[in-house]
A = this chain, B = another copy of it.
């Protein structure tokens, strides 16, 4: 079942949209915006010449450049750079931003981004921070695809006093990309994402690292027998290192707070194992099933067993028998 986007809009939402940073997220936005006709002109800006060349080859934008001056004349600029780079990029953009322009971003941390970016914006430029909660473990301009944001949530965290019309236009942009849009404070965003995204990534990176370092179990054994659960962790532990380093450094307090909570609960569980308290384990394991059901029924996940992973088939065997029934059929 191919994924599809809606038809192009009757009229563009913006005249000139500049995407700064053409990684997974930036290149997905520009693909979707082009398909949907959300701008008269789409500008791709990346400091990496190789990325700009690739954007030209893929024909993703109307203009592609390494120069931040490319934002000149834009009425919408989206920073799609690592969280730690937002301040420097905003500062360098300042001379090229005109009054009436809306600046946004896609960072996974919002408090720090607001603090970094807002001081650099000239009078008359609105800042509407955004975080599309979507992604894959792949990086770079080739990894993007236009339906990445479809049926995902995009969180806006406009600071107090942000122009309402600017918020509405950013909301319309993300709605056009297929996202559900929610507005909350940057502080609350950072707490919510600490538990739903940052700590899971930290734990995944950590468990993969611990497994690699064991002296009693070889790395080849870890890889061979990963289907027992471990491999689920490795997907998110393959995400972009620069992006995630910045997330942890810039959402330090919330991450450490949530990690502390997690550690308390792990200690309790370890004690239950040590003392053979099976009922406590059973109760927790039953409770967690309900949350999984909630995630599936909300459309944020597929119910296919094993995520519907397809296993390799040996061609010589595959040719001789008919298809197996689907699980549960």
A 185-224 contacts with B by CB, 8 A = 191-193, 195-214, 216-217, 219, 221-224
B255 adjacent to A273 (CB under 8 Å): yes
B227 adjacent to A152 (CB under 8 Å): yes
A 54-109 contacts with B by CB, 8 A = 108
A225 adjacent to B153 (CB under 8 Å): yes
A242 adjacent to B282 (CB under 8 Å): yes
Q: What are 21 sample pairs from A and B whose C-beta atoms fall under 8 A apart?
A: A3-B310, A5-B317, A7-B320, A136-B305, A136-B327, A143-B327, A145-B325, A145-B326, A155-B225, A197-B230, A199-B207, A206-B266, A210-B261, A212-B288, A231-B295, A234-B295, A242-B282, A245-B285, A248-B273, A256-B273, A299-B312
With A234-B292, A237-B291 given, is the CB distance from A151 to B244 under 8 Å? no
A288 adjacent to B219 (CB under 8 Å): no
Which of B144, B227, B246 meets A327, CB within 8 Å?
Answer: B144
Chain B residues with CB below 8 A from A266, complex form: 202-203, 206, 259, 263
A 290-329 contacts with B by CB, 8 A = 291-295, 298-302, 305-314, 317-318, 320-328
A212 adjacent to B308 (CB under 8 Å): no
Instruction: Determine if A124 is an interface residue (Cβ-Cβ < 8 Å).
Output: no
A313 → chain B closest CB, angstroms: 6
What 17 new A-B contacts, CB under 8 Å, besides A195-B217, A238-B292, A249-B281? Answer: A3-B310, A4-B318, A6-B321, A197-B225, A202-B269, A204-B232, A205-B269, A205-B288, A206-B262, A209-B265, A209-B288, A211-B291, A213-B265, A219-B291, A238-B293, A249-B273, A263-B263
Instruction: Determine if A14 is an interface residue (Cβ-Cβ < 8 Å).
Output: no
Instruction: Determine if A121 is an interface residue (Cβ-Cβ < 8 Å).
Output: no
With A284-B209, A307-B307, A311-B151 given, is the CB distance from A3 to B225 under 8 Å? no
Which of B146, B224, B305 meets A143, CB within 8 Å?
Answer: B305
In angstroms, Cα B322 to Cα A108, docked, is 31
Which of B206, B228, B269, B310 meets A197, CB within 8 Å?
Answer: B228
Number of copies: 2
In angstroms, Cα B283 to Cα A212, docked, is 13
Chain B residues with CB below 8 A from A302, complex form: 309-310
Q: Which of A212, A273, A298 has the most CB of B within 10 A?
A: A273
Chain B residues with CB below 8 A from A209, complex form: 265, 284, 287-288
Instruction: Determine if A134 is an interface residue (Cβ-Cβ < 8 Å).
Output: yes
With A245-B281, A324-B146 given, is the CB distance from A227 to B310 under 8 Å? no
Instruction: Determine if A169 is an interface residue (Cβ-Cβ < 8 Å).
Output: no
In angstroms, Cα B305 to Cα A238, docked, is 11
Chain B residues with CB below 8 A from A214, complex form: 195, 261
A281 adjacent to B223 (CB under 8 Å): no
